[in-house]
C-alpha cells in the first residue's frame, strides 16, 4: 500500500504526460488529499453506524468496520485517480471527500455482496450470520 502511495506521489507530481504538463500536484497536496480521504471515510462510516473496530478476535473477524476496510478502499481509489493525474478541484481535496463518502457507502451497503463471507467448515453456512 505504501509503495503505491509513494509511486503515486512521484509519478503524479513529476508526470507531464501528453499535454498535461501544466497539471501537477505537489507532495503536500497529495498527502493532504490522502489524509482528507481517510478522515472523511471514517467519519461517514461512523455516521452510517458501522462499528469502529470489528468483533473479537480481530485476526479471524470478517466484520466490516470504520477502521478496516473503509479507509483502505478510499486510499486505493484515490491513488488510482492520482496516478492517472486526475485531480478534480482544489488539488484533489474535493475528489478525496467524494471518494471518502463513496467508500464508506460501499463498505456499508455493497461490501458483503462483492466480497461474501467465507463458509463455515462444520455447517456449510456463512460465519457471521
How far apart CA 52 and CA 89 sit, in angstroms, is: 30
Helices 2-14 and 70-83, packing angle to 10 deg = 30
Q: How many domains does the chain have?
A: 1
Residues whose CB falls within 8 Å of the CB of residue 99, separated by 6 or more in sequence, listed in order? 37, 41, 74, 77, 78, 81
* 127 found inside a domain: no
Question: Which pLDDT does position 61 carry in this prediction?
Answer: 73
Per residue in 70-106, pLDDT tens?
999 999 999 998 888 788 888 889 999 999 999 999 9
Which residue range is the domain that position 75 belongs to?
Answer: 2-10+29-52+63-113
Radius of gyration (Cα) for the chain, nearest Å?
17
pTM of the model: 0.75
* 83 found inside a domain: yes
pLDDT lower than 70: segments of the chain: 1-24, 60, 120-129
Other C-beta atoms lying within 10 Å of the C-beta of residue 97: 19
Amino acid at each position: 500500500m505504501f509503495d503505491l502511495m509513494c509511486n503515486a506521489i512521484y509519478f503524479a507530481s513529476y508526470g507531464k504526460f501528453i499535454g498535461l504538463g501544466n497539471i501537477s500536484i505537489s507532495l503536500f497536496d497529495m498527502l493532504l488529499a490522502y489524509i482528507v480521504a481517510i478522515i472523511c471515510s471514517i467519519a461517514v462510516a461512523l455516521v452510517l453506524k458501522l462499528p469502529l473496530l470489528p468483533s473479537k478476535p480481530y485476526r479471524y473477524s470478517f466484520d466490516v468496520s470504520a477502521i478496516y476496510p473503509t479507509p483502505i478502499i478510499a486510499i486505493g481509489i484515490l491513488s488510482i485517480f492520482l496516478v492517472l493525474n486526475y485531480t478534480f478541484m482544489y488539488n484533489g481535496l474535493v475528489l478525496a471527500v467524494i471518494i471518502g463518502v463513496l467508500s464508506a457507502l460501499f463498505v456499508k451497503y455493497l461490501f458483503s455482496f462483492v466480497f461474501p463471507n467465507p463458509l463455515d467448515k462444520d455447517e456449510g453456512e456463512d460465519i457471521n450470520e
